Copies of this chain bind each other. A is one copy, B any other.
Amino acid sequence: MGCIQSFRQCCDRPKNTNVRISLPAVCFVWQIAMIILFGIFIRYNEESDAHWIEHKTSKNISSNIENDYYFRYPSFQDVHVMIFVGFGFLMTFLKRYSFGAVGFNFLIAGFGLQWALLMQGWFHSLDPMDGKIKIGVESMINADFCVASCLIAYGAVLGKVSPVQLMVMTLFGVTLYAVEEYIILSLIHARDAGGSMVIHTFGAYYGLSISWMLYRPNLDQSKHRIGSVYHSDVFAMIGTLFLWMFWPSFNSAISDHGDGQHRAAINTYLSLAATVLTALAISSLSQKTGKLDMVHIQNATLAGGVAVGTAAEFMLMPYGSLIVGFCCGIISTLGYIYITPFMEKYLKIHDTCGIHNLHAMPGVIGGIVGAITAAAASEDVYGKEGLMNTFDFTGEWKEMVPTRQGGHQAAGLCVALCFGIGGGIIVGCILRLPIWGDAPDNSCFDDEIYWEAEEGNGSGNYVYLFFYMILEVLIKMFL
């Protein structure tokens, strides 16, 4: 007990937000480490190496267009936009935290993707011949996916942590992600093309657990900065729309060539369309005069994309996608109305962006939908070869049957939950240490802590204008 007590006391020391030493130090040390590790481990794969021309001949590939690059690069770019513009701008809704939203999102994504290439490479694409990781376009997509889970987690702690804490959170988040992904996809052999479990469930619970560990009892001192201004809400819509539009690419980016990618895109497209309608409907119902709330439009409309992630490449059927989207729009919006305030008040989890409603719940639903769809798969619907391909019943998994696959999917969901919650609690403990430069409770959600204010910025400008006007009035009065 005494130990915990002293840990607490240690954590409650006055805050110092100066990150002039720690932030550059972390950036430099980690970037140099990346260079060294990349030098040792990372090489181009067959399709991006200059030997491709020989490889092509030896494998009897008829044309350059068969290079995986042409199958996946357009989707990669869409995913890339989601990571940097989508997640970045989605979080700009706060009235004075747009720099932090977009800027720190940029920072942790830039770092995270390098670390992800290494971690995922060690688990998935280590070449046994020479001990090197071979990367190509699919590795880049996977690295972006991995980073997405950390950015989701960032949503829960937006405005309450320092950039150094975010870097630490990303370092551990990527590591945990790679392990969890390896267990779920390779050991358990669950399928998760759009990452409902692997990315969203894990990422959201990781972030929520950290937010719980970092609970600030006096956060209402910064209450007046929670909330948006008119144009910050419009900025956030940029994020929302780019996420919404490119989600079909997200869910189809790494699924099977041909019908797999095609089907995943269609399912996601439909699910998202249905979500928009039900999210708006519930939003309107929740207000006395039927007015809509931008928070719901910005977030809940995306829940359908999350929830259809696992099952997107399966034969979910167009109406199945609509049903998933229909339900998630309702659940997610209700989450914003009832669950987020409840969690803050009773569970002491403050969730700035409401990731519980946008990623956690839909992610779990997505895992369950995936398990059911997999268990219900039949040769009738998929065809013999189609079933084998879709669920990858090859090699050591040759004897697998759909019903058992359903169980494996469910097991995967549990692993994601455990890693998210467990990992988040541990990392949250580390982040409570008073060395990371986070802001005191009365200075949260404020860009002025970590960003150099331009002379002519927002409020300053108004003050200037105000005195200018006063002067004008006085001059007019006395002349």
List 7 extra interface pairs beyond A38-B318, A48-B263, A73-B75, CB under 8 A. Answer: A27-B280, A36-B319, A43-B318, A53-B258, A54-B386, A67-B257, A462-B462
Is A396 close to B, CB under 8 A?
no
Contacting residue for A50 out of B18, B20, B383, CB 8 A: B383
Of the stretches A78-86, A204-212, A347-355, A424-432, the one at the interface is: A78-86
Contact residues in B for A452 (Cβ distance below 8 Å): 287, 291-294
Question: CB-CB contacts of A254-290 with B at 8 A, as 1s and 0s?
Answer: 0001110111011001101111111011101101111
Interface SS, A side: helix
- When C-beta atoms are compared, the residue in chain B nearest to A42 turns out to be B318
CB pair A233–B64 under 8 Å, yes or no, is: no
CB pair B19–A290 under 8 Å, yes or no, is: yes
Contact residues in B for A56 (Cβ distance below 8 Å): 258
Closest 10 CB pairs of A and B: A20-B290, A50-B386, A110-B276, A52-B259, A64-B258, A27-B281, A48-B262, A24-B281, A39-B319, A64-B257
Each complex incorporates copies of this chain amounting to: 3
Is A381 close to B, CB under 8 A?
yes
Contact residues in B for A222 (Cβ distance below 8 Å): none
Q: How large is the interface on A (under 10, 10 to 19, 20 to 34, 35 or more residues)?
A: 35 or more
CB pair A24–B73 under 8 Å, yes or no, is: no
Interface centre among A49, A107, A249, A280 (most CB of B within 10 A): A280
Q: Whole-angstrom distance between the alpha carbons of A90 and B276 in the complex?
A: 20
CB pair A54–B385 under 8 Å, yes or no, is: yes
**When A269-B140, A452-B287 are in contact, do A50 and B106 touch as well, CB less than 8 Å?**
no
Within 8 A of B (CB), among A46-79: 47-54, 56, 62-71, 73-75, 77-78
